[in-house]
Structure 1
Amino acid sequence: MTRYNIDVLFERLGIEVSQLREEFIRFAVDCGVLRFGEFITKAGRTSPYFFNAGLFNDGQSLGTLADYYADTLLESGVSFDMLFGPAYKGIPLVAAVAISLARKGRNVPFAYNRKEAKDHGEGGVIVGAPLKGKVVIIDDVISAGTSVNESVNIIRNANATPGVVLIALDRMERSGKDDALSELSAVQEVQKAYDMPVLSIANLDDLLGYLAKAGASPEMNQYQKAVKAYRDKYGSVN
């Protein structure tokens, strides 16, 4: 398996990533997108935190989020020709990131898919620019990898190359059921299956770092302990 680590990529460019990641975690908390408490995940686990990128639901927060995506992608040094956003959450994300990249001097085409093929007008399942070259798949998180699998198939069927996946938060959580946990996280499984990098703006370790700096209040200490215990139980091995 080829290992990809965004910190290594950034270090090669002499770029410090901790500040961007820390700022993003704080931004997500301030927007109410990253919350603490007790939440049931898709895997049926009780998680002490919940990240819902759909709550970046106004122009200012979505624009700021897109800037974080764009900065992470540009600073990684990964080459790319265009962007693809899987329906549905990936649709506003890919458009916003394309705008942010253009403002930063990198104007690239983007496309997204429909859930159902359109049988009139332009038809088909792809909206936007034709898929070609090395494509960045933009999504919020990777849970089971289903969205990525569908995106890879769509891109390959268009004779383009899925080059990298870019997400907001890597939960660094082992996939599978509790009685049969994989050694790998969903992100690591995608990297292994497709031999391509998955970049994230921030990850669970960054969240723990934020909580450690957030203050010594009993509430924050409680959250920090709960998230660390969750990481110890479900965190990916590698």
Structure 2
Amino acid sequence: MSNLRQEFIEFSVKAGVIRFGDFVTKAGRNSPYFFNAGLFNDGANLGKLAAFYADTLINSGVEFDMLFGPAYKGITLASATAVALAARGRNVPFAYNRKEAKDHGEGGTIVGAELKGKVVIIDDVISAGTSVRESVEMIRAAGATPCAVLIALDRMERSGKDDALSAHSAVQEVSNTYNMPVVSIGNLNDLFDYLSAAGADAQLTQYKQAVAAYRDRYGAV
């Protein structure tokens, strides 16, 4: 695990954004951990999160011209990442969408810079891929090119029902469907490595076995 990925997982755990226990996911699965980017809800934590996004994007080598944040969480994430990129000498425009079209003023569903060139979609996680599909459609409709998706955490889970699991994760399916990379700051393997290295911290190591079992059952190769 790279230092950046390790720092992100540790930061998320200490901020209470990655929590351990018994949670039910959108897919109806009982998960021993839960990630909620909405809990990065103060200025300091949001600024640090944006720095992780910016550094990960720069390190990825993806060529891009602007950022797009799908409503709702993506709005904050894209705007904060744009600020962090500017602080690193890369000033790029960003845009986001409204859930409902505005019928006065400038109207429309897109707010911010004009969608053009190569666009990176910024979100927190990919579950069913609905947000990415809608974003790709809006970007292409504007004549721009979606070039990558940047997320905080890749859960690396096979999609589908328990009795008919897909061979691929939601992230892999998005990447294959739209022929573009999905870049994550951290993933399930990084989280497991963090728990494995927790050492004497019994509060964390007690969850290692549960996370390992969950990864064995649902993890995508």
- Where does residue 205 of structure 1 map in the other structure? 189
Cα distance in 2 for partners of 1:219, 1:104 equals 37
Deviation at 1:219, TM superposition (A): 3.6
- Where does residue 101 of structure 1 map in the other structure? 85
SS at match of 1:113: strand
Deviation at 1:113, TM superposition (A): 0.1
Matches within 5 A, 1:61-80: 61-80=45-64
- 1:115 correspondence with 2:99: yes
Deviation at 1:109, TM superposition (A): 0.3
- Where does residue 182 of structure 1 map in the other structure? 166
Cα distance in 1 for partners of 2:29, 2:76 equals 29
TM-score (norm 2): 0.98
- Where does residue 72 of structure 2 map in the other structure? 88
Deviation at 1:217, TM superposition (A): 4.5
Cα distance in 1 for partners of 2:99, 2:121 equals 16
Deviation at 1:23, TM superposition (A): 0.4
AA in 1 matched with 2:156: M
SS at match of 1:136: strand
- 1:173 correspondence with 2:162: no
Deviation at 1:179, TM superposition (A): 1.1
- Where does residue 32 of structure 2 map in the other structure? 48
SS at match of 1:21: helix
Q: Say which of 1, 4, 8 aligns to 1:24.
A: 8
Q: Say which of 24, 35, 38 aligns to 2:19.
A: 35
Give 4+ residue runs of structure 1 displaced > 4 Å after superposition: none
- 1:226 correspondence with 2:195: no
SS at match of 2:166: coil
Cα distance in 1 for partners of 2:206, 2:217 equals 17
Deviation at 1:168, TM superposition (A): 0.1
Cα distance in 2 for partners of 1:164, 1:217 equals 37
Which runs of no fewer than 5 residues in structure 2 stay unpaired?
A: none
SS at match of 1:165: strand
Deviation at 1:112, TM superposition (A): 0.1
Cα distance in 2 for partners of 1:64, 1:149 equals 28
Cα distance in 1 for partners of 2:214, 2:98 equals 36
Deviation at 1:163, TM superposition (A): 0.2
Matched residue pairs, number?
221
- Where does residue 194 of structure 1 map in the other structure? 178
Cα distance in 2 for partners of 1:34, 1:109 equals 30
Cα distance in 2 for partners of 1:165, 1:73 equals 10
RMSD: 0.9
Cα distance in 1 for partners of 2:189, 2:214 equals 12
Identity %: 73
TM-score (norm 1): 0.91
- Where does residue 7 of structure 1 map in the other structure? none
Deviation at 1:203, TM superposition (A): 0.3
